[in-house]
Chain A
Amino acid sequence: MSDYKELAWQGLWKNNPGLVQLLGLCPLLAVTATLTNALGLGLATMLVLIGSNILVSLVRDYVPKEIRIPVFVMIIAALVTSVQLFINAYAYGLYLSLGIFLPLIVTNCVIIGRAEAFASRNSVAKSTFDGLMMGLGFTLVLCVLGASREILGQGTLFYGADQLLGEWAKGLTIQIWQVDTTFLLAMLPPGAFIGMGLLIALKNVIDNYIEARQPKVEQEAPARVRITKVN
């Protein structure tokens, strides 16, 4: 069981695809102007990641080593197409606002990275769990960034949630404060870069804090052994 605990810890914090591996920066920076978009893209990426990890893990013994990358990419592309069609059918508004970044999940390095580094070497159960945790970690970063940019930029939270979750979610939109003018920097790509940098800095601060809190393991000074003979 400790394997799974370790996988969760790696995916959610220690080796987080967004904050530490810095993979998939393009969608991470481009679509996180609102929490709704961030959540939508995060969920889509997570679905693809779990699916591709399962499939790659299933076929890992039958794919020749030399052509594994094209095979993985085809598996991922097929999954992305299904997810894209699915979102097109059930959340058309979100489909429009995510635009090109939905098909671009194919090129998201998190997915091919996990397929190559983890799923092609581990059992199906472990790969599924790894996909879930990595996807969750990525989605969490997307959501934190999206929420902070949305609050700073236009003073709302979960604006347009009904596009993702259906009519009932209209009530989820919260007006944090009323702004006369939107803070465009937070909404534009430079805001995403600055926000991302600050998030990484925050993670490092937390890591340093935790490390400083941990009791120092006293290393026993090895007893001096005389290796040369004195006379």
Chain B
Amino acid sequence: MAFKLASSPHLKVQLQTQSVMRRVILCALPGIAAQFYFFGWGVIVQVILAIAIALLSEAAVLKLRKRPILPTLSDNSAVLTALLIGVSIPSIAPWWVVVVGTIFAIVIVKHLYGGLGQNIFNPAMAAYVMLLISFPVQMTSWSVPLPLAQTPMDLGLTLNAIFGAMTPEQLSIYKYGIDGIAMATPLDTVKTDLSLGLTITESLSKTIFSDGFGVGWFWVNVAYLVGGLAMLKLKVIRWQISVGILASLFVCSSFGYLLSPDTHIGPLFQLFSGATMLAVFFIATDPVTAATSVRGRLLFGALIGVLVYVIRTYGGYPDAFAFAILLANLCAPFIDYYIKPRSYGHRAGS
């Protein structure tokens, strides 16, 4: 057995931004693969388009700001932002949606505030909210998961749909399932049904819920969960924020479910539907816009969980993570101001 003696310092090399971002991107691949399996080529096309636009607009802004272009471009942060935008918008949204969103994220949300490390808001989520508010129709038209689709889309059809070679009437075929009923996303369906006076049980008997959670969405969430656990293992992210969100969302939705199971979605459904796992591990954990201390991060996560529950239950939009994360981003400096780690050798509070 070799016994190595090394002189101090014994700290290993700190991770650079570039490799952190690269690991996050690699860990997102299982989720993207799941989305590709259930929703087809659209997600790949959107991600590639978003990355290209993000690199172009970042280079343009850096040139305007007279900053070195290559070092900043190669830190992969713009690629990650673009990737998150690409996976969170509907896979058959027209091309200009993702283009407008990515330019907004990079130019306005990131660089106008001073670039990476200075932005108050998560660029991808700010862009998502901007798109959702500006183009509500395009941003809520998800195609039917491929296993349920009446007419599955191949690559050619997807490109036609994204680059505007299809009329809305032609496109609407792809929103019909095998049972000939137009489908929305699981959260959307439940919300609509509740407003129509149906109970949760009645709503969950629809074809889209044939596996209990909404076909496709469950496995997409599982894939992002796996990627997230891998990031924890690689120490790319800390556990506090993710655990905070999951715990508070679980507690809130359990309360609601226990009080009135007919009108509230169950906790497991909350955790494995919509954007939950993607947001919990990949978006909310952005170190720039989150709180920084251990307890602060827990509180930050819990705040997101509560907001998500409230917005999903009482709000007008089907999913809530983008809004919840932006609101929590606003609170992060406040949390950091009041929750400071105890400095070594001093009593708490002094």
Contacts and interface: CB of A to CB of B under 8 A. Distances in A.
A26 interface: no
B108 A184 contact: no
A194 B108 contact: yes
B11 interface: no
A183 B134 contact: yes
Q: How large is the interface on A (under 10, 10 to 19, 20 to 34, 35 or more residues)?
A: under 10
Contacts of B100: 183
Interface in A164-201: 181, 183-186, 188, 190, 194
Interface string A6-45: 0000000000000000000000000000000000000000
Q: Is the interface of B mostly helix, strand, loop or mixed?
A: helix
7 nearest A-B pairs in the assembled complex, by CB-CB distance: A185-B134, A184-B134, A183-B134, A185-B130, A181-B135, A184-B133, A185-B133
Contacts of A183: 100, 134-135
Contacts of B134: 183-186
Interface string A113-134: 0000000000000000000000
A68 to B, nearest CB: 42
B100 to A, nearest CB: 8
B137 interface: yes
17 contacts: A181-B135, A181-B137, A181-B138, A183-B100, A183-B134, A183-B135, A184-B133, A184-B134, A184-B135, A184-B136, A185-B130, A185-B133, A185-B134, A186-B134, A188-B133, A190-B130, A194-B108
Given A183-B100, A184-B135, A186-B134, 14 more contacts: A181-B135, A181-B137, A181-B138, A183-B134, A183-B135, A184-B133, A184-B134, A184-B136, A185-B130, A185-B133, A185-B134, A188-B133, A190-B130, A194-B108
Interface in B112-153: 130, 133-138
A91 to B, nearest CB: 31
A181 B100 CA distance: 14
A184 B132 CA distance: 10
Interface in A183-231: 183-186, 188, 190, 194
Which of B108, B134, B135, B136 has the largest number of chain A CB atoms within 10 A? Answer: B134
A186 B130 CA distance: 10
A184 B136 CA distance: 9
Nearest to B97: A181
A173 B134 CA distance: 24
Interface string A53-92: 0000000000000000000000000000000000000000
Nearest to A186: B134
Nearest to A185: B134
A181 B133 CA distance: 12
Interface in B271-287: none
A153 B308 CA distance: 30
Contacts of B136: 184
A148 B100 CA distance: 17
A194 B134 CA distance: 14
Nearest to A188: B133
Which of B100, B133, B136, B137 has the largest number of chain A CB atoms within 10 A? Answer: B133
Contacts of B133: 184-185, 188
B34 to A, nearest CB: 30
Nearest to B168: A180
A219 B227 CA distance: 65
B244 to A, nearest CB: 29
A185 B132 CA distance: 10
Contacts of A184: 133-136
A184 B100 CA distance: 13
Nearest to B130: A185
A179 to B, nearest CB: 10
Contacts of A186: 134
A186 B134 CA distance: 8
A185 B103 CA distance: 14
A105 to B, nearest CB: 29
Contacts of B135: 181, 183-184
B314 to A, nearest CB: 22
A196 B138 CA distance: 27
Contacts of A194: 108
A183 B136 CA distance: 10
A52 B135 CA distance: 44
Nearest to A184: B134
Contacts of A185: 130, 133-134
A190 B131 CA distance: 13
A191 to B, nearest CB: 9
A188 B135 CA distance: 12
B300 to A, nearest CB: 24
A183 B133 CA distance: 9
